[in-house]
Structure 1
């Protein structure tokens, strides 16, 4: 026969355990509107930048080729997708609207700070003089980021564009890296670094820099130099952010294939944001007026 006292004790013990567990669960519940705050995570800030984040002004050179502005607009659409909520604008040094001084005046009128990201490959006259001079003359508070330059993301985009054009490893491979050119020796040094990184990315293929203006060698000269080394299967890699006169001329010299300009490549969009972020966080950014004096 079952002992009634034993049955009662077991039921009481079970009820006690249930009550204890329920109390523990209820202790973790917060009243409505009082959920515990967690510290913000880095990816939250990147996906939803604070309203105080400066405007990212991507600065293109400008071109009479109507494809250029449309291409850069698509690139900035990718940047906005990567950083929702960030104010991203396109401006030009010349030839296309909006011009940079107009954009800076508009930002100043709205009380907005800005970071100028040059859509240029190397530190030539536009980067070291024109952009800082525009900032110094503008009422807006702005700083100039580094040009796109020798970076793995840029090399990724160059290699992908070559692959899209039909690049495959083979006998007698060579690449001419075609860019705009500049008389500034720092520009040539940067393009040579890009060429070296691209050669490594392609498995040791010789990559010779060449220029559409202001510097040597030209694309035909670089092609002849590679031919003298026994390289007869040569591609032209277009180191331009958008279509234009120089990119078209460089591609026309290609004896085999020529890649398209970098355009709205996803890696280039990431590189634009990388330059923006570095400029925002760098404590040693050179003031615009100092750059203008270089």
Structure 2
């Protein structure tokens, strides 16, 4: 069999599904052939931190909605359900790729990325790391949905319905430093387009950054502000959201959690990494 044929058989095929109603219809899914590398979500923090159960829900969504194959969760701290332990429990046949690790992160995170690289480098089976989930337009979609769930944005930008609680300006609050804020600005621009309202980004780790973003929004004419956490849920910075919002007199939405868009992104990052590995 030619290398081209082998690569073609190893790659997942797109699966056509009956369209479903609601905001998430049209999600792309992939049918993975038997023996495909294991998809592992790399989760920041230890297994028993508040919010880590969301990773298991996302893994289940990935399985049911997109890949048809088991997805696993590996934590980057502690010994319980650790990424290293999950990788150590896998079997490899010949020199085939055994696993693809997808960082459960809304954007590049130096500490998380370094931990993933170290686990991949020390894996007893052949493993590659995928890119983090964002930045990507689907992150903006998920942020929009969480704002709408909290009554802070219109659920449908086309319907001209009145919401007295809708914010007239949004702060996308992301963990990390100034570099993380710049990376989150891509998502902020996409969210602003969806909301038809000004959006600025700020660091949850820097109160002055949040205050500066609020001042920029008010200077742009925003009279009510909402904080949209650029978080999935397991990140420790989630505890900073209520105080950050209170500091600037803003309401806030929930973290992204097990949003269908994140499951779709995890599957997409897996396929991208698999395609690159097979091409090398």
Normalised TM-score (structure 1): 0.72
Structure 1 equivalent of residue 123 of structure 2: 138
Cα distance change of structure 1 residues 86 and 284 upon mapping to structure 2, 3 Å threshold: closer
Structure 1 residue matching 2:15: 3-state secondary structure: helix
Going by fraction, where is helix more abundant, 1 or 2? 1
CA offset digits 1:88-113 (Å, max 9, x no partner) = 10011115731111111112578871
Say whether the 8 Å CA contact 1:65–1:245 is kept in structure 2: no
Deviation at 1:76, TM superposition (A): 1.4
Which residue among 179, 182, 192 is the counterpart of 2:174? 179
Equivalent positions of 1:54-203 (< 5 A) are: 54-62=37-45, 66-83=49-66, 85-95=68-78, 97-108=80-91, 113-168=98-153, 173-182=168-177, 185=179, 187-203=180-196
Q: Do residues 263 (structure 1) and 257 (structure 2) align?
A: yes
Root mean square deviation, CA, Å:
3.1
User: Distance in 2 between the 1:78 and 1:172 partners?
Assistant: 30
State how many pairs are aligned: 243
Gapped runs of 5+ residues in structure 2? 1-11, 17-28, 155-163
Deviation at 1:247, TM superposition (A): 1.8
User: Distance in 2 between the 1:224 and 1:62 partners?
Assistant: 33
Structure 2 equivalent of residue 282 of structure 1: 276
User: Distance in 2 between the 1:275 and 1:84 partners?
Assistant: 12
User: Distance in 2 between the 1:116 and 1:270 partners?
Assistant: 15
Structure 2 residue matching 1:83: 3-state secondary structure: helix
Give every structure 1 segment of 4 or more consecutive aligned residues whose post-TM-superposition deviation is greater than 6 Å.
Answer: 109-112, 169-172
Gapped runs of 5+ residues in structure 1? 1-39, 288-294
Structure 2 equivalent of residue 251 of structure 1: 242
Structure 1 equivalent of residue 201 of structure 2: 209
Which residue among 3, 15, 32 is the counterpart of 1:43? 15
Cα distance change of structure 1 residues 244 and 277 upon mapping to structure 2, 3 Å threshold: closer
Which residue among 221, 236, 247 is the counterpart of 2:212? 221
CA offset digits 1:253-288 (Å, max 9, x no partner) = 322421111111111111111111111112598x9x
Say whether the 8 Å CA contact 1:63–1:244 is kept in structure 2: no
Say whether the 8 Å CA contact 2:116–2:129 is kept in structure 1: yes
Cα distance change of structure 1 residues 53 and 212 upon mapping to structure 2, 3 Å threshold: same
User: Distance in 2 between the 1:138 and 1:237 partners?
Assistant: 36
